[in-house]
Amino acid sequence: MATVSRTAQFTKLFKILKKSYRPAPANAGRSVMEHLLFACCLEDSHYEAAGEAFAAMVHTFFDWNEVRVTSISELSEVLAGLPDPRAAANRIKRVLHAVFEATFTFDLEERRKKNLGPTVAWLEKLDGTTRFTVAYVVQAALGGHSIPIDSGTMAALRVLDLVSEQDRAAGVVPGLERAIPKSKGMEFGSLLHELGADYSANPYSSSLRSLLLQIDPEAGGRLPKRRLEPPAGQKHPPATVAAAPEQSPEPAAAGEVPDRAATKAEGEKKSVRKKEPVRDEPPAAKRPKKKAAPAARADSKTDKPRPLDSAPRKSTSEGLSKRKPR
C-alpha cells in the first residue's frame, strides 16, 4: 500500500473541515495590540466565546492600563465565558505588563512596518506570549503565513497521526505551512482551531469521534478511552473480615399459614429482653465494708462489760468527801 503524502493528508483534512465548521475571518479593524490580546482569549477556546469575552473586557475596563493593574480574580469574572478564564486572564496581564515595561505604551502599530523576522523574535521574548498567540498575530495582523496551533488542536492532530509525540512535545507541525497555501491559511487555521476547541472541550463526544474517523478511519486505536472511576466522595471500603450473617427464619412455604400465636410469643420475649434493666452494681471486691460496732469497755471493779454510752458509776468515798461536816 502506497504511503499517502502529508500534503494529501492535510488537503483531505481541509475538505472535511469545510463541511463541518464555518470559517472565522480575522477582524481587520483591530490593532496589533488588540489582535494579541484577542489571541490570549482564543487559545483553547471557540471563536464565538473568545469574541464575547474580548468584547466584555473592552466594555468593562476604561483602557488597557486598567486591565493591567486589575486583579486576576476580577478579570477572570469578566472572562467567565471562556473554558479556562483564569489562564486567559493570566496571559493577558502578563502580556500587558511586558509590553508596558518594554515600550511604556500599549501601541504596537510600528511593528507592522518592521521586518517580520525581528518582530516575531521580539514577540516570542515577551512574557505571557505562547506559540499560538505569536502565530495568530503573525497571521492576522502582520500578514505572515503561520497557522496557530494550541494544545487542543495538537492533541487532535496526534489522534489523526499527523504529528508524532516528539512534534507534540515541541509544539510544531512539520510541513503544515507548505501543504496549505498562504491564501488559504486564515480559513484553514480557523477551521482547524474549531476542531481543536471541540476536542479540548470534550474528547469523548460521539459527533467528534465520528468526524475524526471520517478523516482517518484508522484513528480508532488512538482515540482516548474513558476511565471508570468511583463517584466523587466515594472511597473503596477497607479490607475487613466480614461478620457471619444472622440466620433469618426460613420463609413459610407456599400456601402455609404462619403460627400467629408463636410469632406473638416470640415478639413478647424479645421486647422483655430489651426492657430488662441492666444493674449497675460495683464488683464484690470494690464494695465498701461495713464498720464493726465498737467493743464494750469492762468495768474495773465488776469486770463486767458496760456499754460505752452508759454513764460511769460514782464511788462511795467520793460521795462522802463532798458531804458537809455537821
Residues 109-160: pLDDT tens digits? Answer: 999 999 999 999 999 999 999 999 999 999 999 999 999 999 999 999 999 9
Q: What is the mean pLDDT of the chain?
A: 81
pLDDT digits (tens, 9 = 90+) for 76-108: 999 999 999 999 999 999 999 999 999 999 999
Does residue 8 sit in helix, strand or coil? helix
* Burial zone of 132 (CB within 10 Å; 0-12 exposed, 13-18 middle, 19+ buried): buried
Reported pTM: 0.70
Does residue 298 sit in helix, strand or coil? strand
Strands 305-306 and 297-298: antiparallel
Does residue 306 sit in helix, strand or coil? strand
**Predicted pLDDT at 17:** 96
Q: Which residues pair with 38 in a beta bridge?
A: none
CA distance to 42, 52, 121, 192, 311, per residue, from 200 (Å):
13, 19, 28, 12, 110
| Position 214 confidence tier, pLDDT thresholds 50, 70, 90 | very high
**Predicted pLDDT at 16:** 96
* DSSP string over 164-192: -HHHHHHT--TTHHHHS-GGGHHHHHHHH
Does residue 44 sit in helix, strand or coil? coil
Helix or strand (DSSP H, E) at 297: strand 297-298
48 and 193 in contact (C-beta within 8 Å)? no
Helix or strand (DSSP H, E) at 9: helix 6-20
CATH topology classification for 27-140: Endonuclease III; domain 1 (1.10.340)
pLDDT digits (tens, 9 = 90+) for 160-203: 999 999 999 999 999 999 999 999 999 999 999 999 999 999 99
Does residue 66 sit in helix, strand or coil? helix
Mean pLDDT of all residues in 299-321: 50
Answer yes or no: is pLDDT of 278 > 80: no
Mean pLDDT of all residues in 11-22: 95
Answer yes or no: is pLDDT of 271 > 70: no
Cell numbers of 84, please? Answer: 479556562
**Predicted pLDDT at 152:** 95
**Predicted pLDDT at 235:** 54
pLDDT digits (tens, 9 = 90+) for 228-270: 555 555 555 444 444 444 454 444 444 444 455 555 555 555 5
Mean pLDDT of all residues in 30-39: 97
Helix or strand (DSSP H, E) at 305: strand 305-306
**Distance of alpha carbon 139 from alpha carbon 182, whole angstroms:** 9
Residues 6+ apart with CB under 8 A from 154: 163, 168, 171, 173, 196
Read off the amino acid at residue 97: H
Answer yes or no: is pLDDT of 24 > 80: yes
**Predicted pLDDT at 6:** 87
**Distance of alpha carbon 192 from alpha carbon 190, whole angstroms:** 6
Query: Among 107, 100, 72, which Cα is nearest to 88's?
Result: 72
Q: 7-26 in b/e burial notation, b at 16+ Cβ within 10 A?
A: eebbeebbebbeeebeebee
**Predicted pLDDT at 226:** 78
* DSSP string over 23-39: -----TTS-HHHHHHHH
